[in-house]
Amino acid sequence: MQNPRWLEWARRLQAVAQTGLAYGNNAFDLGRYGEIRSIAAEMMTEGAGMEGNLAMAAAFAREAGYATPKTDVRAAVIEAGKVLLVREREDGAWSLPGGWADVGEAPSVAAVREVREESGYEVVARKLAAVYDRDRHGHPPIPFHAYKLFFVCELRGGAAAASVETSEAGFFGEDELPPLSLTRVTAKQIGHMFEHWRHPEWPTSFD
Euclidean distance between CA atoms 98 and 117, whole angstroms? 9
Q: What percent of the chain has pLDDT over 70?
A: 97
Convert 30-52 to b/e letters by CB count within 10 Å (16 or more is b). Answer: eeebeebbbbbbbbbbeebeeee
Task: Dump pLDDT digits (tens) for 165-185.
Answer: 999 999 999 999 999 999 999
Burial of 157 (0-12, 13-18, 19+ CB in 10 A): exposed
DSSP-derived pairing of the beta strands 121-133 and 146-158: antiparallel
CATH class, range 70-206: alpha beta
Distance CA 207, CA 202 (A): 16
> Three-state SS for 146?
strand
Q: For the segment 78-130, what is each residue's pLDDT rounded down to a tens digit? A: 999 999 999 999 999 999 999 999 989 999 999 999 999 999 999 999 999 99
Confidence of residue 63 (pLDDT cuts 50, 70, 90): confident
**What are the extents of the domains in the chain?**
5-61, 70-206
